């Protein structure tokens, strides 16, 4: 089969062998380089383990969940991990464990997926937007400090696109008022900050295991709980909260339920997928990072395009790769015509009616949101594809 030229969008196809070898120049419109792609372990590795647990007679929360919590904690460097059926459930639980109550204020970012802020509404709290750094879309530590009041009970931080937010500055501002920080690290598995893994810095750090994240268990969420003086009591409360408020270690007919809880627990099937994923996730994340660092170098100096910037101590894990582009719609059409998926991915949350009561001026977000767009840099992007993406961008739009 003839290899497609960069300008060839006539619909030709590559063989699977050619694709796997990266032996091509371009993609047709039918062979788009996706922005997201699910990674799962090889069938020969995953399916026997799943079959064993599915027919074990024990598919709800049990020993595989406990093992997954332990091994995931080892991976992110935090020993105290609570598992949940979704990242949103983990965030809701973090807010409750942080002591946020109805009517309290939580400082957050509008530059995120909606579930980040839906969790704040779930506890009945008021969202207070802080502005973002227009260079990367993450919360500004100065903006967070400016929004703290005597009604603030937590700060919600998102590492947008896998770029670590300025945690030291945000934590310093929050700690001076005795306020806990909750990190939404849904995009940032494998990222590092100040030499340590994201997941080890704040009181609560959530990781999402939803379908298109760095690592998936089909769905799920993990909550790292760090440096808490009442550690055992808090973890026990978290386990009760995710199971209707019931202490599962006590006799079901003798236990007293003292607090309303939810059905938020992880199950053995999901945990088994997670255990298999942990055997493969390090090279998957390493490929995201290698591709992101390649773009950091190769996309320098292109007219009309600016790269994101971040603190020197931040080491992104590049869930996707964000560029800031003038004439963004033309840029998007250009990439699409050459078979490269691209998207803004998220609508700024302050534009939604459900969050209307929190609206305020956010000039940094205005600047970032007007120009930002994401391109593929995940584990599925091989060397030839990333070179092709750069070549297409350098052609101009």
Give the pLDDT confidence of 322-372 residue by residue, as tens digits: 999 999 999 999 999 999 999 999 999 999 999 999 999 999 999 999 999
Helix then strand count (H, E) for the chain reads 13, 13
pLDDT tens, residue by residue, 33-73: 999 999 999 999 999 999 999 999 999 999 999 999 999 99
Give the pLDDT confidence score for residue 371 in this predicted structure: 98
Query: Is 53 a domain residue?
Result: yes
Same structural domain for residues 272 and 331? no
pLDDT tens, residue by residue, 171-204: 999 999 999 999 999 999 999 999 999 999 999 9
Number of domains present in the structure of the chain: 2
Cα–Cα separations (whole angstroms), residue 13 to 3, 4, 89, 392: 9, 8, 42, 19
- CB of 191 closer than 8 Å to CB of 166: no
Give the pLDDT confidence score for residue 359 in this predicted structure: 98
Tell me which of 226, 246, 278 is where a domain ends.
278
Same structural domain for residues 91 and 211? yes
3-state secondary structure of 206: strand
Give the pLDDT confidence score for residue 31 in this predicted structure: 72
Specify the CATH number for the domain of residue 114.
3.40.640.10
Edge-to-edge strand list for the sheet holding 305-307: 305-307, 321-325, 372-375
- CB of 117 closer than 8 Å to CB of 108: yes
Q: How many CB atoms lie within 10 A of CB 22?
A: 14
Give the pLDDT confidence score for residue 189 in this predicted structure: 98
Residue 294 CA, distance from chain mean position: 21
Rounded distance between C-alpha atoms, residue 53 and residue 33, angstroms: 35
3-state secondary structure of 83: strand
- Residue at token pair 């992880």: 266
Q: How many CB atoms lie within 10 A of CB 225?
A: 22
Give the pLDDT confidence score for residue 22 in this predicted structure: 36
Same structural domain for residues 56 and 157? yes
Tell me which of 240, 258, 278 is where a domain ends.
278
Same structural domain for residues 342 and 390? yes
Give the pLDDT confidence score for residue 274 in this predicted structure: 98
3-state secondary structure of 100: coil
Q: Give the model's confidence band at 219: pLDDT under 50 very low, under 70 low, under 90 confident, else very high.
A: very high
Task: Look over the chain and give the mean of its residue pLDDT values, rounded to a whole number.
Answer: 92
User: Could you tell me the two tokens for 320?
Assistant: 């996707």
Mean pLDDT score, 205-219: 97
Same structural domain for residues 273 and 379? no
Residue 128 is inside which H or E element, if any?
A: strand 126-129
Q: Give the model's confidence band at 228: pLDDT under 50 very low, under 70 low, under 90 confident, else very high.
A: confident
pLDDT tens, residue by residue, 265-318: 999 999 999 999 999 999 999 999 999 999 999 999 999 999 999 999 999 999
- CB of 1 closer than 8 Å to CB of 14: yes
Rounded distance between C-alpha atoms, residue 19 and residue 23, angstroms: 6
The boundaries of the domain holding residue 369 are 16-38+281-394
How long is the chain?
397
Mean pLDDT score, 122-126: 98
Rounded distance between C-alpha atoms, residue 208 and residue 319, angstroms: 12
- CB of 343 closer than 8 Å to CB of 312: no
pLDDT tens, residue by residue, 125-142: 999 999 999 999 999 999
- CB of 280 closer than 8 Å to CB of 41: yes
pLDDT tens, residue by residue, 64-107: 999 999 999 999 999 999 999 999 999 999 999 999 999 999 99
- CB of 378 closer than 8 Å to CB of 320: yes
Same structural domain for residues 67 and 185? yes
Same structural domain for residues 78 and 31? no
Give the pLDDT confidence score for residue 389 in this predicted structure: 98
Rounded distance between C-alpha atoms, residue 44 and residue 51, angstroms: 11
Q: What proportions of the chain, in percent to the nearest 5, are helix, strand and coil?
A: 40, 15, 45
Q: Give the model's confidence band at 257: pLDDT under 50 very low, under 70 low, under 90 confident, else very high.
A: very high
Same structural domain for residues 243 and 340? no
Same structural domain for residues 77 and 90? yes
- CB of 350 closer than 8 Å to CB of 362: yes
Same structural domain for residues 71 and 151? yes
């Amino acid at each position: 089969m003839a290899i497609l030229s960069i300008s060839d969008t006539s619909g030709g196809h590559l063989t699977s062998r050619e694709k796997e070898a990266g032996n091509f120049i371009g993609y047709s419109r039918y062979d788009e380089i996706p922005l997201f792609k699910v990674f799962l372990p090889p069938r020969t590795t995953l399916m026997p383990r799943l079959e064993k647990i599915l027919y074990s007679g024990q598919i709800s929360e049990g020993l595989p969940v406990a093992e997954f919590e332990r091994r995931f904690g080892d991976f992110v460097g935090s020993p105290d991990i609570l598992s949940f059926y979704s990242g949103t459930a983990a965030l809701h639980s973090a807010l409750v464990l942080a002591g946020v109550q109805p009517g309290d204020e939580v400082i957050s970012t509008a530059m995120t997926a909606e579930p980040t802020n839906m969790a704040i509404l779930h506890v009945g709290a008021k969202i207070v937007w802080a502005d973002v750094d227009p260079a990367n879309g993450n919360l500004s530590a100065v903006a967070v400090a400016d929004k703290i009041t005597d009604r603030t009970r937590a700060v919600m931080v998102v590492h947008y696109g896998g770029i670590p937010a300025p945690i030291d500055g945000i934590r310093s501002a929050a700690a001076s008022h005795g306020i806990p920080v909750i990190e939404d690290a849904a995009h940032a598995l494998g990222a590092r900050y100040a030499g340590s893994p994201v997941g080890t810095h704040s009181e609560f750090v959530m990781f999402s295991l939803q379908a298109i994240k760095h690592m998936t268990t089909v769905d799920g969420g993990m909550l790292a709980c760090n440096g808490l003086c009442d550690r055992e009591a808090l973890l026990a409360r978290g386990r009760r909260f995710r199971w209707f408020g019931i202490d599962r270690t006590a006799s079901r007919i003798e236990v007293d339920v003292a607090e309303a809880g939810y059905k938020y627990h992880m199950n053995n099937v999901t945990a088994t997928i997670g255990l298999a994923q942990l055997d493969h996730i390090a090279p998957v994340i390493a490929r995201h990072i290698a591709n992101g660092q390649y773009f950091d170098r190769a996309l320098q100096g292109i007219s009309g395009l600016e790269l994101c910037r971040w603190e020197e101590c931040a080491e992104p894990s590049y869930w996707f790769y964000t560029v800031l582009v003038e004439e963004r719609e033309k840029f998007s059409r250009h990439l699409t015509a050459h078979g490269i998926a691209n998207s803004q991915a998220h609508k700024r949350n302050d534009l939604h009616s459900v969050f209307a009561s929190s609206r305020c001026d956010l000039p940094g977000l205005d600047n970032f949101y007007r120009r930002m767009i994401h391109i593929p840099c995940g584990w599925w992007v091989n060397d030839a594809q990333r070179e092709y993406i750069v070549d297409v961008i350098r052609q101009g739009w």
